[in-house]
Amino acid sequence: MKAVILDAATMGDDIDLTPLRHEVEELTVHSLTSPDECQERLKDADIVMVNKVVLKGELLASLPQLKLICVLATGTNNIDMAAAERLGIAVRNVSAYGTESVAQHTLMLILALANRLPLYQRDVAAGQWEQSPFFCLLGHRTLQLSGKRLVIVGSGVLGNAVARLASAFGMDVVFAARPGNEDADERPPLQQLAASADVISLHCPLTDATHHLVNDMLLREMKRDALLINCARGGVIDEEAALKALREARLGGLGVDVLPQEPPRQGHALIDAMQESLNLIVTPHSAWISPEARQKIVTLTIENIRTWKCEYTG
């Protein structure tokens, strides 16, 4: 069978694709692929492997040979799933490949914001330590994590990994009810937990129920020193409302690894605000990118291909 990877560059150039080559008769690897190039590159493919390239229904309908789409990520929103099902094209994604990497990144954001790292780094760079009348700077109130409450939204593998790490720092970890399913969930909803939270960390998908889950109303319920972390999806928080709360000292710190549009071609208010004296960290959707996590995507994709082969042949 012939397989094609459309956007291998999104996986980095330090990942070993050799195991994938052993699973198919022919593997063609493209670093990046524009929408106009998809049809030509996939015309003879039995399997396509894709991270973020959009595969629309009309494209899939023009590829009668295509049998399997392997998404090199968890989200399948770039695939016309209804068209794939109608055309008999199997779709397989991967999950939990970046659990340790994202959990580590989440704790990095929590620790950095708790210690007001962005503010103190700015002060040191501006020469304030050199001008201090005594041995240290005390201008920014830090947050000791031990004994503080961490509210996690998302109780899957990732949320539980973050909980384990936070527990090692002595934090009181509480999971919020699943957004959109609060009535059937025995846990309290985020709205009920917000006032007691010292840190809120988001690890849930972006759905109608989670869009702007953290909005101006919820932010006003939170403690003034509380930290907000979003390593889930852009749009789960109202970024403009969170930035306003940060500027007005109604929020202790904000750390995001995701934005509603990625990459942010037209810029974003949070990126602009990084020039201000705020306890703010924006990272470029890099929580997942450890080499171990990216190589695991290859391993999980091989498992998907093998499972599909068994089902396909029968």
From the list 312, 261, 250, the residue with the least C-alpha distance to 285 is 261
- Please pick, among 140, 187, 250, 285, the residue that the annotation labels catalytic: 285
DSSP 3-state of 271: helix
**Which residue of the set 105, 116, 203, 233 is catalytic?**
233
Q: Which two tokens stand for residue 293?
A: 């996590």
User: Which DSSP letter does residue 8 get?
Assistant: G
Alpha-carbon distances, residue 198 vs 148, 192, 284 (angstroms): 6, 14, 25
Cα–Cα distances (Å) from 283 to 11, 223, 287, 297, in that order, read 17, 24, 8, 21
306 is catalytic: no
Strand partners of residue 230: 202, 256
Instruction: Choose among 13, 62, 14, 71: nearest CA to 42.
Output: 62
**88 vs 64: CA distance, rounded Å:** 10
Structure tokens at 264: 């942010």
Question: Which one from 37, 85, 248, 262 is the annotated catalytic residue?
Answer: 262
What strands, in cross-sheet order, belong to the sheet with 172-175? Answer: 172-175, 149-153, 199-202, 227-230, 253-256, 280-282
Looking up tokens 């957004």, which residue turns up? Answer: 179
Integer Cα distance of 70 and 50 in angstroms = 6
DSSP per residue, 171-214: -EEEEPPPTT-GGG-SSPPHHHHGGG-SEEEE-----TTTTTSB
Active site residue 262: yes
Beta-strand pair 149-153/253-256: unpaired
Catalytic residues: 233, 262, 285
